[in-house]
């Protein structure tokens, strides 16, 4: 299948995430499949796209090739800012785009414009205070594409290693599959690790000691629902089928969130100040425990 990246190979060949031992390389076809699942071309035309942590700006290439009205890439790293600027200048000089050298967090503290779509791919797990980060994402665009990594839940590996010898029937295997799906889609958990990796530049490898939060799909859903967004997991379902080495339990996931209503209060302070809290008496709490 011919893709826009076949004629714009710098977006693929200069991607720093292709070094052996760091990540699986994206081919031109895989990159096109990935972005098409995120945002089909018909939803790109005429839209303003914000790409947080743009790396080599491949999203910018995809967006401009499919008729985006504007693309803003945000990249704080010197090497990656230079790389993404060079890539966009080579293929889209004269088009309406910009690459800003600033962290995603600082950019969201004072955004100058509103966008149709914001993309946060491979960046949430580099932001320790990710709930505040999501709140700010919700102020700059009406659609948010969030790609991250499933929590590993390593205790499940121990459980399945014990269970596997006993899964002898189709019924047993169906039960195990349903358990994996419940973990994948049904548990609002957040894993923290102090060995998170984020790339440093085109040739400098990665920093590997980030305090990395990995919210599950359901944890993200709960937060984004409070912010007035509803979820669409079709991008993830599609990519699990066509790119199973990249997407699935223990690997990546992606969710599209679409704004449907005004944000709701989340914190105790917000609930008290807005008067939207549900209250109960101490007697009710004691009665519920009996």
Q: Report the C-alpha dihedral over residues 156, 219, 74, 126, rounded to 10 degrees.
A: -40
Q: What is the pLDDT at residue 75?
A: 95
Residue 245 has pLDDT above 70, yes or no: yes
Query: At CA 228, angle to CA 142 and CA 115, rounded to 5?
Result: 15
Taking the C-alpha atoms of residue 238 and residue 30, their distance in angstroms, rounded to an integer, is 12
**Pairwise CA distance, residues 221 & 255, whole Å:** 9
Residue 203 confidence (pLDDT): 62
Mean pLDDT of 36-54: 96
Whether 24 has a pLDDT exceeding 80, the answer reads no
Report the pLDDT averaged over residues 155-176: 68
Between CA 71 and CA 96 the distance in angstroms is 7
Q: HSE of 201 in the Cβ direction (CA atoms, 13 Å)?
A: 8
Q: Is the pLDDT of residue 158 over 90?
A: no
pLDDT score, position 213:
92
- Point out which residues pair with 215 in neighbouring strands: 190
Count other C-beta atoms under 10 Å from residue 126's C-beta: 21
Q: 3-state class of 198 per DSSP?
A: strand
- Domain spans in the chain, listed from the N-terminal domain onward: 4-153+189-289, 158-184
pLDDT over 90, % of the chain: 57
CATH of 4-153+189-289, one of 3.40.50.620, 3.40.50.150, 1.10.540.10, 3.30.300.30: 3.40.50.150
State mean pLDDT over 127-143.
Answer: 93
Task: List phi, psi (to 5°) of 34.
Answer: -60, -50
Q: What is the pLDDT of residues 220-237, one digit of tens each?
A: 999 999 999 999 999 999
Tell me the HSE value of 96 on the side-chain side, using a 13 A CA sphere. 9
| Residue 18: pLDDT band with limits 50, 70, 90 | low
- For the cut 60, the answer to whether the pLDDT of residue 127 exceeds it is yes
- In the predicted structure, residue 284 carries a pLDDT above the cut 60: yes
Least reliable range by pLDDT among 116-130, 134-148, 166-180, 238-252: 166-180
In this prediction, residue 95 carries a pLDDT of 96
Close Cβ partners of 11 (under 8 Å, ≥ 6 residues apart): 5, 31, 56, 57, 58, 61, 87, 91
Q: Which of 20-24, 106-110, 186-190, 270-274 has the highest mean pLDDT?
A: 106-110
Higher-scoring residue by pLDDT: 15, 21: 15
Query: Mapping DSSP to helix (H, G, I), strand (E, B) and coil, where does residue 200 land?
Result: coil
Q: Categorize the per-residue pLDDT at 19 as very low, low, confident or very high, splitting at 50, 70 and 90.
A: low
- What pTM was computed for the model? 0.86
pLDDT of residue 209: 78
pLDDT of res. 123? 92
For 14-19, what is the mean pLDDT?
71
List pLDDT tens digits, range 251-269. 899 999 999 999 998 888 9
- pLDDT the model gives residue 285: 59
Q: At 185, is the pLDDT very low, low, confident or very high (cuts 50, 70, 90)?
A: confident
pLDDT in the model for residue 278: 77
| 164 pLDDT higher than 90 | no
The larger pLDDT score, comparing residue 260 to residue 26, is at 260
Cα–Cα nearest to 251, from 265, 260, 262, 239: 239
User: Mean pLDDT across the stretch 173-197?
Assistant: 76
Q: Tell me, what's the pLDDT at 250?
A: 80
């Amino acid at each position: 299948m011919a893709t826009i990246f076949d004629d714009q190979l710098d977006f693929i060949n200069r991607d720093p995430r292709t070094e052996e031992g760091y990540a699986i390389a994206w081919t031109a076809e895989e990159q096109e499949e990935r972005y098409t699942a995120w945002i089909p071309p018909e939803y790109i035309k005429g839209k303003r796209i914000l790409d947080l942590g743009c790396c080599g700006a491949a999203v910018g290439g995809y967006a401009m090739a499919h008729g985006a009205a504007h693309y803003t890439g945000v990249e704080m790293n010197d090497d990656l800012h230079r790389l993404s600027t060079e890539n966009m200048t080579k293929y889209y000089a004269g088009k309406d785009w910009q690459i800003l050298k600033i962290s995603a967090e600082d950019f969201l503290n004072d955004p100058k414009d509103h966008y149709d779509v914001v993309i946060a791919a491979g960046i949430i797990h580099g932001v320790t205070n990710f709930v505040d980060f999501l709140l700010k994402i919700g102020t700059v665009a009406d659609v948010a594409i969030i790609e991250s990594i499933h929590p590993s839940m390593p205790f499940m590996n121990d459980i399945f290693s014990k269970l596997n010898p006993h899964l002898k029937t189709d019924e047993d295997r169906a039960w195990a599959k349903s358990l994996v799906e419940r973990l994948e889609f049904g548990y609002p958990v957040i894993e923290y690790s102090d060995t998170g990796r984020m790339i440093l530049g085109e040739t400098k490898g990665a920093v590997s000691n980030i305090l990395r939060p990995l919210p599950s799909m359901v944890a993200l859903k709960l937060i984004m629902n409070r912010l007035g967004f509803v979820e669409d997991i079709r991008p993830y379902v599609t990519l699990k089928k066509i790119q199973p080495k990249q997407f699935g339990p223990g690997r990546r996931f992606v969710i599209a969130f679409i704004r449907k209503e005004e944000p709701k209060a989340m914190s105790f302070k917000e609930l008290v100040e807005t008067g939207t809290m549900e209250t109960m008496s101490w007697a009710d709490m004691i009665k519920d425990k009996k």
